[in-house]
Amino acid sequence: MNASGAPGLLEVAGLSKSFGATKALDDVQLSLQAGEVHALLGENGAGKSTLLKILAGTQRADRGRLELAGAPYAPSSPQQAQALGVAFVSQEPALCPDLSVAENILLGALPGRIGIVDRVESRRRAGAALAQVLPEGAALPDLAQRAGDLGQGDRQLVCLARALAQSECRILILDEPTSTLNSNEAERLFAVVRELTRRGIAVLYVSHFLEEVERIAERYTVLRDGRFVHAGEMRGTTRSDLVKLMAGRDVHELFPRSARTAGDVVLDLRELCGEKLPISASLTLRKGEVLGIAGLLGAGRSELLRAIFGLDAVKGGALRVKAVLGAASPARRLADGVGLLSEDRKGEGLAEGLSLGDNITLSKLDGLGSFGLVSPARRAAVARGYLERLGVRARGPEQLARDLSGGNQQKICFARLLYHGLDVLLLDEPTRGVDVGSRADLYRIIDELAARGNAVLMVSSYLPELLGICDRIAVMVRGTLGAARPANELSEHALLLEATG
Is residue 320 domain-shared with residue 232, that is, in the same domain? Answer: no
Question: For strand 10-19 and strand 63-68, is the pairing parallel, antiparallel, or unpaired?
Answer: antiparallel
Ordered DSSP codes for 377-422: HHHHHHHHHHHHHHT---S-TTSBGGGS-HHHHHHHHHHHHHHHT-
Domain presence at residue 403: no
φ and ψ of 362, to 5 deg = -60, -30
Grouping H, G, I as helix, E, B as strand and the rest as coil, residue 272 is strand
Domain presence at residue 482: yes
Predicted local confidence at residue 86, as pLDDT = 95
Is residue 203 domain-shared with residue 328, that is, in the same domain? Answer: no
Residues 32, 39: Cα–Cα separation, whole Å: 10
**Tally of domains in the chain:** 2
* Residue 301 one-letter amino acid: R
Is residue 93 domain-shared with residue 240, that is, in the same domain? Answer: yes
* Residue 338 one-letter amino acid: V
Predicted local confidence at residue 1, as pLDDT = 53
Is residue 94 domain-shared with residue 216, that is, in the same domain? Answer: yes
CB 428 within 8 A of CB 340: yes
Predicted local confidence at residue 270, as pLDDT = 97
Is residue 290 domain-shared with residue 149, that is, in the same domain? Answer: no
- For residue 37, give the nearest of 182, 154, 196 by alpha carbon: 196
Ordered DSSP codes for 429-454: STTTT--HHHHHHHHHHHHHHHHTT-
Domain presence at residue 86: yes
Residue that finishes a domain, picked among 205, 220, 247: 247
CB neighbour class for 124 (10 Å; exposed up to 12, middle 13-18, buried from 19)? middle
Note down the domain range covering 214.
10-247
Is residue 326 domain-shared with residue 452, that is, in the same domain? Answer: yes
Domain presence at residue 381: no
CB 293 within 8 A of CB 481: yes
For 304-343, the three-class secondary structure string (H helix, E strand, C coil) is HHHHHHCCCCEEEEEEEECCEECCCCHHHHHHCCEEEECC
Q: Compute CA distances 124 → 86, 130, 165, 176, whole Å.
A: 23, 10, 11, 30
Grouping H, G, I as helix, E, B as strand and the rest as coil, residue 102 is helix
Domain presence at residue 346: no
Chain-centroid distance, C-alpha 82: 24
Domain presence at residue 1: no
Q: Compute CA distances 207 → 69, 105, 174, 216, 219, whole Å.
A: 25, 24, 9, 11, 13
Q: What is the pTM of this model?
A: 0.72
Is residue 34 domain-shared with residue 130, that is, in the same domain? Answer: yes
Cβ neighbour number for residue 258 with a 10 Å cutoff: 10
φ and ψ of 57, to 5 deg = 90, 10
What's the half-sphere exposure (Cβ side, CA atoms, 13 Å) at 491?
3
Residues 295, 499: Cα–Cα separation, whole Å: 5
Is residue 30 domain-shared with residue 171, that is, in the same domain? Answer: yes
Is residue 78 domain-shared with residue 223, that is, in the same domain? Answer: yes
Is residue 169 domain-shared with residue 289, that is, in the same domain? Answer: no
Domain presence at residue 357: no
Predicted local confidence at residue 65, as pLDDT = 96
Helix, strand, coil share of the chain (percent; to 5): 35, 25, 40
Residues 303, 386: Cα–Cα separation, whole Å: 29
Is residue 194 domain-shared with residue 306, that is, in the same domain? Answer: no
Per-residue pLDDT of the chain (501 residues; tens, 9 = 90+): 554 455 689 999 999 999 887 789 999 999 999 999 999 999 878 899 899 999 999 999 999 999 999 999 999 999 899 899 999 988 777 788 899 998 888 887 777 777 787 888 888 888 888 888 876 666 777 888 998 888 777 888 888 888 888 668 899 999 988 877 777 778 888 988 998 899 899 999 998 888 889 999 999 999 998 999 999 999 999 988 998 898 887 666 678 889 999 999 999 999 999 999 999 999 999 999 999 999 987 889 999 999 999 999 999 999 999 989 999 999 999 999 999 999 888 888 999 999 999 999 998 998 898 888 999 999 999 999 999 998 898 999 999 999 888 778 989 999 999 999 999 999 999 988 787 878 888 999 999 999 999 999 999 988 889 999 999 999 999 999 999 999 999 998 899 889 876
Check which CATH number belongs to the domain holding 151 and give it. Answer: 3.40.50.300
Q: Of how many residues is the chain composed? A: 501
- For residue 397, give the nearest of 373, 375, 429, 427 by alpha carbon: 375
Residues 476, 463: Cα–Cα separation, whole Å: 13
Is residue 311 domain-shared with residue 212, that is, in the same domain? Answer: no
Q: Which residues contact 222 (CB under 8 A, 6 or more apart)?
A: 41, 42, 228, 229, 230, 231, 242, 245, 246
Domain presence at residue 256: no
